[in-house]
Chain A
């Protein structure tokens, strides 16, 4: 290690200063990168990007192989990443003019992309992309300004996942599908006391944006109206007062456990044996099953005056880039992925139920394991679901994170429920309008 002790002092100081400033400057220069591909001779190369894990990668590749076999002139290059990095990568590619031809898009940011005009209007491809096999109301979740800019790539619904093995061990009866929030509270306290305080009834849903959404719908209220928040501070307070009460009584997880909830089933309190129930979507039920040896069941959400507030949500959507050089071929691939029974067979239920309802019905009969549970559950709750709400306005994805962050402060006792709700409303105002 060379450390100058007896050199010219002025020189050394300048050097240090320059080094220090450059060290700081390197942070400013967060760069951009991009990649793309093109085609010549009669062949067409499509880029297809999506998010997911290795299990999903395998089934997706299987489906694509089937497509390529049917379309020998088309080559499909795929890229995938986990949800978070995927969003960053996609935005970078789109901004650099290298958007993939076909890509998965999330409900929470589809409005933003559509607003910038980077998503092609999918209504104009005629027979290359047939959308009449998908439930019209569900299909509408991919609309923006009355244009079909995305097609749902899987249907999912809100659920409470329950660990029945653990309940048996504790000697607590599993809740009835017709339960209310009050039932949930009583049941959760029972789990807590029977386990000697070691296990909570449920992972606290207070920081889960989707849980608040369905709470709103259960109370006959809306999330957004005219692109602005329709929920109020009072709505949020009533939700948080209830969940905080559950947490304090042991019916739901304590603050430090709630803080670990990150949306990855294998890391959640249920998989760790700290809670016997979780709020989630049925498209990830299989991942919960994979994360524990226990027997799991699915229940509808607790209701308010008989209303569960549940709806068919797109687990993800597919969009074609408006700048794609091969939009027709991209539309054909999209068509294959949402309508073709061979694709459905390859894809399974790893993205939720298959979009084409006819194909879905055929598959439901032959499903096994967790997929069978999901199909049966979906069939049992179909009649009680509300119409799918339209895609949220741009900025909604910010609120998903804000909900978790602010509720963590509330459960840790750093902020009162009303102060937290107020802070959330401020965040909502700035995120949704800007």
Chain B
């Protein structure tokens, strides 16, 4: 992909008057690849190599200490037939993905709409609303969350002011996952900024034309904003979904690495981590990682397929 871009670009930007440029103009040849060698090496050694090795491990009973023996599909079979905790972690993760992603995106979108209006000090507001995302999925935020939502934490105190009965959110299996979903929603900054950029790119003349045709606010939103924004929405949904499937830090920190209380925050990746790095079942953990990879790939493919029906690309007329 990179090579195509380069060859396309070089004739256009070729600086005339530099003979060496002309000599090589025909075939940029190996040069780009030579420059990319360090990157390729890194990719091979740190990404592709371990990736393939983990694929191999997923068919073994590797436990770090002994040399792995081949067990065929046993790890994959165990996941779906003989490991209730695995299925439980799948359930927890799906709940998290299905609730946190739409909720977070709706919040991000609404805030983006608010911040899209011209008003005094709008730049400041935008920065302020983006701030939580700079802190990101960091350990510090998760720690703060943990103390806010635990007994006699600030959330408990605030609710107490309006007469809501005190509750230890973090240490109650019914609510613990909810607090992590709220944490995810609070970090709406990244999709919000993307929405905002998208909103700014909707050509004003479309709104003018729509108004001239007698479209009201709602109709303009439905027939202009939403279709023009659909690629952005798709991009955000895709990215957030993939991220949500891999959420790890908040659950790890909030539950102290246990996925507790009572496995109520046992995210897929957290269980994977426990199996690999606490119980040393690296073969099994590798198999889990590959199932996650396959799942994310399938979900992504399904989303692309579904997007054909609902996503409108402004350049469609050109083709």
Contact = CB atoms under 8 A, between A and B. Distances in A.
Interface string A86-114: 01100110110000000000000000110
B260 interface: yes
Nearest to A88: B277
Interface of B is mostly: helix
Interface in A1-43: 1, 3-9, 12-13, 15-17, 20-21, 23-32
B279 to A, nearest CB: 6
B180 to A, nearest CB: 15
B238 A16 contact: yes
A405 B168 contact: no
A23 B244 CA distance: 11
B79 interface: no
Given A94-B65, A113-B65, A24 B47 contact: no
B314 A5 contact: yes
22 contacts: A1-B194, A4-B231, A8-B315, A12-B231, A13-B304, A13-B307, A20-B238, A20-B300, A21-B296, A23-B242, A27-B269, A28-B54, A28-B292, A95-B65, A116-B65, A401-B258, A405-B258, A405-B259, A406-B262, A408-B173, A408-B262, A409-B262
Contact of B47 (A20, A26, A397, A431): A26
B242 A20 contact: yes
Interface of A is mostly: helix
B47 A25 contact: yes
Given A16-B238, A27-B293, A30-B289, A84 B46 contact: no
Given A23-B243, A260-B171, A116 B300 contact: no
B81 interface: no
A118 interface: yes
A430 interface: yes
Contacts of B198: 3, 5
A289 B46 CA distance: 47
B96 interface: no
Given A29-B47, A398-B279, 6 more contacts: A3-B235, A5-B228, A23-B242, A30-B289, A31-B46, A409-B262
A366 interface: no
B256 A262 contact: yes
Contacts of B250: none
B64 A401 contact: no
A259 interface: yes
A24 B231 contact: no
Contacts of B278: 84, 87-88, 397, 401
A350 B54 CA distance: 40
B291 to A, nearest CB: 10
A412 B168 CA distance: 12
B50 A31 contact: yes
Given A256-B172, A412-B173, A3 B65 contact: no
Interface in B226-283: 228, 231-232, 235, 238-239, 242-243, 245-246, 256-263, 269, 274, 276-280
A27 B292 contact: yes
A384 interface: no
